[in-house]
A and B are shown apart, each in its own frame.
Chain A
Amino acid sequence: MTLPKKSLREILPELDGLMILAMVLLFLLGLVSIYSASQGATRMGQYYALRQTIWGGLSLAAFLVTVRIGYEEIYRWSHFVYGAVALLLLTVLLVGYSAKGAQSWINLGFFRLQPAELGKIALAVVLSRVAVVHGPHDLRGLTICLAVTAGIALPVMLQPDLGTVIVYAVMTFAALHVARAPRKYLFSLVGLALISLPLGWTFMKEYQRQRLLVFLDPYVDPLGAGYNVIQSRIAVGSGGIWGKGFLEGTQSRLHFLPESHTDFVFSVFAEEFGFAGTVVVLFLYSLLIWRILSTALATKDIRAKVMVSMVACWVWFQLFEVMAMSVGLAPVTGIPMPLFSYGGSALLSVSVGLALVQSVHVASRKSYV
């Protein structure tokens, strides 16, 4: 197994080109939308777009480093990765910087880091390994798998960052599914989640309840949480087939659309580029997810199959949630649209996640040579 390591120059031509293309295009479309949104929202010109570009550069570096190290080497260090992220999450609970009611940031001077995003990487690496070693075929294996998730999800739940916890849950479910957990376990878990919904209600903060109520009927509170949903719907709907054109979206430029460079960035995009733009974005994400899962099918390493499918579900769930939210088909959460929304930690971690997938791709090609 210990073949001499490939240099970056040898690795680069072996990467999955289509996947890279989809990633780059999605990032660029996101950048265009962030620019448009921040022009309207804060009159800060290119401020957010510039920051996102810097984060893009950092993410590219992280991508290359991860690909160079290779996923097999990272598996060897997976326990340290898990421990480090868990430690960061605890740190954030103790000394974190809070924004919008949740304590989820670590201040790094110019930038702030959100360890919950790194948790997704740690979860993919560690859970995929654990799920293969202790397969979730019996209650013992299942418990061990769920405990791995809980170690990361609990501190995040306490921040509280419910949106990210749901992403972890989706990733865990994907891991159990691919690691051949019996159907009765999978159905029980879904059942359990449904039963615990009313229980979750009592644990929710007021603003979270409000968001759920508003999801059921946005006109309950048109100025508060419902305002966003109504205005976002108007933005998307008024985009029509071809959209209003770049920087012409009246909803965001006139400030009817709040949080327009983060939570509602897709609404800005859909207003300005219409259904045609929506189709392009959906196609790019479909391509991305298709290529990720192709990698999972191609590799012989069963740990990697589980890990890669977890990354696929991470990307899928977040894009689905944001796009559905923009037309009021899903409740408002703060989770970002992968590669597209403004937010450095999210961009960085999804880049590392996709770099792991690329590394699996490279390794699986190697075995045929």
Chain B
Amino acid sequence: MNREINRRVEMDFRLSLLRWGLLLTLLLLGGAIFSFQVFRFDRYLQLAVQNRLRTLQVPAQRGRLFDTHGAPLALNVRTFDLKGYPLYLRREGVLENLEGLLGRHGIPLDADQLAEAVDRQYWAPFRAVTVVSNLTLAQVAGLVTDPDFSPQLFPYPVWRRVYPAGPLAAHVVGYVGEISREELDARRDRGYQGGDLIGKMGIEAVYEERLRGKNGEEAIEVDARGRRLRRLDYRPQEAGEDLFLTLDLGAQRLAAEMLADRRGGIVALDVATGAVRVLYSSPSFDTNPLSWGMAPGEWQAIIEAPERPMMNRTIAGAYPPASTFKAVVALAALGEKVITPNTTIFCSRTFKLGNRTFHCLRAHGTENVVEALRDSCNVFFYQVGLRTGIDLLSSWASLLGMGRPTGIDLLGEASGNVAGPEWKMARFQESWYQGDTVNYSIGQGFLLATPLQMAVVYAAIANGGYRVMPFLDESSPPPKENLHIEEAVLRPVVKGLENVVATGTGRQAGTFGVSLAGKTGTAQNYHGADHAWFVGYGPRENPRYAVAVLVEAGEKGSATAAPIGGRLLAYLIDHDGDQSR
């Protein structure tokens, strides 16, 4: 007990020591702050009042974009911004005078627009904002030598984005534009400020973080009139990362030429990796005016154009896959052992289901799966589809990558639709009929797919059963998934697709000197002429590339889409060795 008390006495002694020690330090701290707030008050007040520090953002050079051979897709060029400090610009009459000065030099901006620009970029009165952007050297020279030009304003060299390929790669590359208020709010903690450029679409938007780089900052001391006296500090900008895309601009140009002024989309993939070589949507648009800033009227015109140029038809256009889907039905039926390669069905040109009659192009007679693919025999697939059943058909379509986004590194991908009875019930409050399965078996009805999805399906047939994830950024190929489709299941389908090009509906794809496989399709379009499809791959012996071609209102897959797909595959295969930069 005595020991216990001794312990406590010793502890209490140390506690008192601690208590007085801590209080003493706080007293000293108070003394130190006293010396700042009372003794040195005048000096610091002086510093606070005439804070002559100004800061300027040194814009980062955005990462450049190149195609797989090193051809430029997005570059930066030097232009000039006219900058000033809100401290000065917000004074009475300053912007009105500036309006006059700019007007005399052919720059039509009124004081209200200028005021809005200043407000949008405002961060602090001493942080410079851009008053006018994109001035040429000649314009700058004219402005600064004008006797009315205020020394409170100054030209500042900046980077502007240009897209050498313009409309050719618009949907892939995308464009940059001034950050909007919503975008700014969403990225408050990532260092964005009003007036910054940000990727709005395509690769520019997806890889914004890697491309943007880091703005530098310059701190300068100014005199009482706001003129720069000296640089106090400087943090250089850090350029963004340059990206090489998998795209082949030569093949892309060919695709654009072949589509010409027709609406549609073309994709080509490396079947082994999913690397996207061609991704072209027509009509396209020029991204250059968008990134330089265009008048709201011109912008509206692009958005509201009836042919919808901003829509990327290769990934956002969902179409009935039509006969190109028959390959999926064949895989499902063979894979589930509903049919064998030797199963035959007799086609008498019509197929009756209850009181409905479904048609074929002509009476094909007795056909097995290889022949039915070659002739695109509807009756064969009506019956095989019914035997397989809607659940297995839609699960095979999903397995091969339909009905959900492929995961390509672009924004705005459509899912398409492979849904069966539950979906129809939820959507239309109607049960699923056998007739729906019949339509489904030839790729019509509720079935929808994007050209990119169909390219992924055919790449899986070509590469021995791997579902690839299409990608554009060459530095990060995503993994592919083994679907474990047996060789015996794939072989008849491959044979059928080869015969389509050799002697069947896709003959026009095979006239470009390389051996191909593929399938044509003609999708019913209730709003006008039918859409034309061709999906295929080549070369037959050792498949390297898969293409999907969709021509809106192209009428016949065999006549319109097949030659485009064939020629594009031939180009890619012929230029296969050109991997050098």
Interface residues of A, Cβ cutoff 8 Å to B: 99, 174, 177-180, 221-224, 227, 233-241, 250-251, 254-256, 270, 274-275, 278-279, 282, 285-286, 289-290, 293-294, 296-297, 300, 302, 305-306, 309, 312-313, 316, 320, 323-324, 327, 329
B109 to chain A minimum Cβ distance, whole angstroms, is 26
Bound complex: CA of A238 vs CA of B53, how far in Å?
17
Establish whether residues A237 and B43, one from each chain, have CB atoms under 8 Å apart when the complex forms: yes
Establish whether residues A324 and B29, one from each chain, have CB atoms under 8 Å apart when the complex forms: yes
Given A222-B232, A250-B48, does the pair A174, B36 have CB atoms closer than 8 Å?
no
In the complex, besides A223-B235, A274-B37, 18 extra interface pairs with C-beta distance below 8 angstroms are A177-B18, A178-B15, A180-B14, A222-B219, A223-B55, A227-B233, A233-B36, A234-B44, A234-B47, A234-B48, A236-B33, A237-B47, A254-B126, A255-B124, A286-B26, A294-B19, A297-B15, A320-B26
List chain A residues, Cβ under 8 A from B124: 254-256
Establish whether residues B22 and A237, one from each chain, have CB atoms under 8 Å apart when the complex forms: no
**Closest partner residue, chain B, to A316 (CB atom):** B22
**Closest partner residue, chain B, to A230 (CB atom):** B47
Bound complex: CA of A30 vs CA of B437, how far in Å?
69
Bound complex: CA of A309 vs CA of B17, how far in Å?
11
List chain A residues, Cβ under 8 A from B38: 240-241, 275
Given A221-B233, A237-B44, A254-B125, does the pair A327, B16 have CB atoms closer than 8 Å?
no
Establish whether residues B48 and A270, one from each chain, have CB atoms under 8 Å apart when the complex forms: no
Among A180, A237, A312, the residue within 8 A (CB) of B45 is A237
Establish whether residues A286 and B23, one from each chain, have CB atoms under 8 Å apart when the complex forms: yes
B48 to chain A minimum Cβ distance, whole angstroms, is 4
Bound complex: CA of A180 vs CA of B8, how far in Å?
10
**Closest partner residue, chain A, to B87 (CB atom):** A254
Interface residues of B, Cβ cutoff 8 Å to A: 7-8, 10-12, 14-16, 18-19, 22-23, 25-26, 29-30, 32-34, 36-38, 40-41, 43-45, 47-49, 51, 53, 55, 123-127, 189, 217, 219, 232-235
B310 to chain A minimum Cβ distance, whole angstroms, is 34
Establish whether residues A237 and B16, one from each chain, have CB atoms under 8 Å apart when the complex forms: no
**Closest partner residue, chain B, to A305 (CB atom):** B11
Establish whether residues B30 and A178, one from each chain, have CB atoms under 8 Å apart when the complex forms: no
List chain A residues, Cβ under 8 A from B10: 180
**Closest partner residue, chain A, to B122 (CB atom):** A43
* Interface CB pairs A-B, < 8 A, 7: A239-B37, A239-B41, A254-B124, A256-B51, A286-B23, A302-B11, A313-B22
Prevailing SS type, chain B contact patch: helix
Establish whether residues B44 and A293, one from each chain, have CB atoms under 8 Å apart when the complex forms: no
List chain B residues, Cβ under 8 A from A236: 33, 36-37, 44
List chain B residues, Cβ under 8 A from A282: 26, 29-30
Given A180-B14, A282-B29, A289-B22, does the pair A241, B37 have CB atoms closer than 8 Å?
yes
Bound complex: CA of A297 vs CA of B17, how far in Å?
11
List chain B residues, Cβ under 8 A from A293: 15, 18-19, 22
A294 to chain B minimum Cβ distance, whole angstroms, is 8
Given A241-B38, A275-B37, A327-B32, does the pair A251, B48 have CB atoms closer than 8 Å?
yes
Bound complex: CA of A275 vs CA of B232, how far in Å?
31
Establish whether residues A238 and B45, one from each chain, have CB atoms under 8 Å apart when the complex forms: yes
Establish whether residues A297 and B44, one from each chain, have CB atoms under 8 Å apart when the complex forms: no
List chain A residues, Cβ under 8 A from B40: 237
Bound complex: CA of A313 vs CA of B32, how far in Å?
20
Q: Which 8 A-B pairs have the closest CB atoms?
A: A237-B44, A223-B233, A255-B124, A238-B48, A275-B37, A293-B19, A238-B44, A223-B219
Given A180-B10, A223-B235, A305-B11, does the pair A278, B33 have CB atoms closer than 8 Å?
yes
Establish whether residues A241 and B233, one from each chain, have CB atoms under 8 Å apart when the complex forms: no
List chain A residues, Cβ under 8 A from B234: 223
Bound complex: CA of A238 vs CA of B51, how far in Å?
12
List chain A residues, Cβ under 8 A from B30: 278-279, 282
Establish whether residues A235 and B48, one from each chain, have CB atoms under 8 Å apart when the complex forms: yes
List chain A residues, Cβ under 8 A from B34: 275, 278
A313 to chain B minimum Cβ distance, whole angstroms, is 8
A309 to chain B minimum Cβ distance, whole angstroms, is 6
B293 to chain A minimum Cβ distance, whole angstroms, is 25
A317 to chain B minimum Cβ distance, whole angstroms, is 9
**Closest partner residue, chain B, to A251 (CB atom):** B48
A273 to chain B minimum Cβ distance, whole angstroms, is 10
List chain A residues, Cβ under 8 A from B8: 300, 302, 305
List chain A residues, Cβ under 8 A from B235: 223-224
Among A177, A312, A329, the residue within 8 A (CB) of B32 is A329
**Closest partner residue, chain A, to B17 (CB atom):** A177
Establish whether residues A223 and B15, one from each chain, have CB atoms under 8 Å apart when the complex forms: no
Given A180-B7, A254-B124, does the pair A233, B33 have CB atoms closer than 8 Å?
no
Given A222-B219, A236-B36, does the pair A241, B41 have CB atoms closer than 8 Å?
yes
Bound complex: CA of A329 vs CA of B49, how far in Å?
23
List chain B residues, Cβ under 8 A from A309: 15, 18
List chain B residues, Cβ under 8 A from A305: 8, 11-12, 15
Bound complex: CA of A254 vs CA of B36, how far in Å?
21
Establish whether residues A177 and B48, one from each chain, have CB atoms under 8 Å apart when the complex forms: no
Given A180-B7, A222-B232, A240-B41, does the pair A275, B33 have CB atoms closer than 8 Å?
yes
Establish whether residues A270 and B33, one from each chain, have CB atoms under 8 Å apart when the complex forms: yes
**Closest partner residue, chain B, to A100 (CB atom):** B189
B215 to chain A minimum Cβ distance, whole angstroms, is 13
